[in-house]
Structure 1
């Protein structure tokens, strides 16, 4: 399920600034709308209140009020919670700013989705390492998972950062170091907002290719032998009929 955090920055001027050497008092707040689904009732409204770069208190609509984290924050939070006007104001802010933005946020992000181009390759021959690359996708969040015989692999796995391409798309890579002599069915599973369900990409080792060629060759020889035997039997039967 897609989740979105709508950031609403509010940069407030200093409540007091009596110092001339830039060491006065400074206050600001961050406003957030946490949107876990299209259901407006699940929207969470958050306010982080800072004083001199220290988080002093927080408003959380799920809690239903302010929570203080410092001595001054505890006093101010209690004052705000007792203020009926502040209580009504936060309820209206959640409704007008957050809940009414749900459809806009989801529609805007769902329209802009680009499916990743995925490739698997061996990057080191001596110490076999597989690379699963997801290229040119949007939005940024993606999950790449290595599977061995259908089970998630965690050992010998490394990930790159999700890197911007400079054209609003992204790329990501993950690497798996193979265990020598261990012959498992290796796959890379990709989960992304542009995909209705996870996609699994299988890796074909050189040994598997060789085995496939050998099996194909044996099947061709057997099929040729069957046709040859059938032709000889048909030839002998026709020759016998002419002799009679």
Structure 2
């Protein structure tokens, strides 16, 4: 019950103070090196986003900026123990952490990743614009420049400020407006402490839409042909192992094990085929059909005789026939 009451009380306090008053402090260390003379320790106290009192190691005392802050600064400055504790923070807090930062972070460098792409921005003086985006580099100092046919250019270039990612890394973007020229080579050059030599990224214009569609269509046609040929080869190799054949073998095996099925099919020879055979012998096989004959000449290619007579006989039954040729006395 007590736990439930505490949860309800905290919820009530949060709701009531959502738009209420806020008091907080921040601690900063400003430095250029690990030496004490290059370090400044700052402790600031805020009330509703307004800084009302600050301690700076360069000043050595509290300074008030509002009526409330002046009163607090006067009270704290009259406390020798509190002043001594704040003055010691420059060495115990700032210098200690700065040594760690220099050893593990500030002396390190991270190579940038570069992306070169085109874009269209409204209000440009030229019909084309390139953007060189440099991401995730450290330290902050970096130089991004543009090369046209190997020569550095400084006109029609705009660059953004170096943005902090919030993870000690930075990014920057440089824009180049240009007039496209046939055969011109445009590059983005990045110089940074993490690089042994400048990183140069060359601009490769995108392929026209028609050529891209033709290539995609050709690739699709080739893939379809490969799949078709593979399917034909697979069907030929599978042969008797096809699903239908395996099903037929299984069905025949099951029927051969069934005496009733065998007894049903064995009499079919006499019950079905014999009557049909007798009808065929009575109405078809004893009959005969008079043949049609056609005699014509042709010249055989490469023959030993200048002419060739051809006798064609059509539509006769039964298939026993005899053909004789009478050529004068021959």
Q: TM tier, shorter chain?
A: 0.5 to 0.7
Q: Are 1:61 and 2:57 matched, yes or no? A: yes
* Post-superposition offset of 1:178: 3.0
Structure-1 residue corresponding to 2:132: 132
Structure-2 residue corresponding to 1:227: none
* Post-superposition offset of 1:30: 0.7
TM normalised by structure 2 equals 0.42
Q: For 2:127, what is the secondary structure of its paired residue? A: coil
Unpaired runs of 5+ residues, structure 2, are: 1-14, 121-125, 206-330
Structure-2 residue corresponding to 1:159: 160
- Measured against aligned partners, the alpha-carbon deviations of 1:167-194 in whole angstroms (never above 9, x if no partner) come to 997654321223789xxx9875645453
Q: Are 1:79 and 2:75 matched, yes or no? A: yes
Contact residue 140 and residue 162 of structure 1 kept, 8 A: no
- Measured against aligned partners, the alpha-carbon deviations of 1:127-174 in whole angstroms (never above 9, x if no partner) come to 132222324x34474545446876866x6514388586xx99765432
Residues 72, 187 of structure 1: alpha-carbon distance in 2 compared, 3 angstrom cutoff: farther
Q: For 1:62, what is the secondary structure of its paired residue? A: coil
Unpaired runs of 5+ residues, structure 1, are: 1-19, 207-244
Residues 170, 43 of structure 1: alpha-carbon distance in 2 compared, 3 angstrom cutoff: closer
Residues 192, 45 of structure 1: alpha-carbon distance in 2 compared, 3 angstrom cutoff: farther
Report 1 or 2 for greater relative contact order, CA contacts < 8 Å, sequence distance ≥ 6: 1
* Residues paired across the two proteins, number: 179
Higher strand share: 1
CA distance in 1 between counterparts of 2:161 and 2:20 reads 43
* Post-superposition offset of 1:38: 3.0
CA distance in 1 between counterparts of 2:83 and 2:62 reads 10
Residue pairs, 1:156-195, within 5 angstroms? 156-159=157-160, 162=163, 172-178=172-178, 190=190, 192=192, 194-195=194-195
Highest CA radius of gyration, 1 or 2?
2
TM normalised by structure 1 equals 0.54
Q: Are 1:115 and 2:111 matched, yes or no? A: yes
Residues 96, 151 of structure 1: alpha-carbon distance in 2 compared, 3 angstrom cutoff: farther
Residues 63, 116 of structure 1: alpha-carbon distance in 2 compared, 3 angstrom cutoff: same
- Measured against aligned partners, the alpha-carbon deviations of 1:52-87 in whole angstroms (never above 9, x if no partner) come to 332101111122222211111122223323332222
Q: For 1:176, what is the secondary structure of its paired residue? A: strand
Q: Are 1:48 and 2:49 matched, yes or no? A: no
Q: For 2:30, what is the secondary structure of its paired residue? A: strand
CA distance in 1 between counterparts of 2:78 and 2:196 reads 47
Contact residue 146 and residue 186 of structure 1 kept, 8 A: no
TM-align CA RMSD:
4.3
Residue of structure 2 aligned with 1:70, choices 47, 50, 66: 66
Contact residue 139 and residue 193 of structure 2 kept, 8 A: no
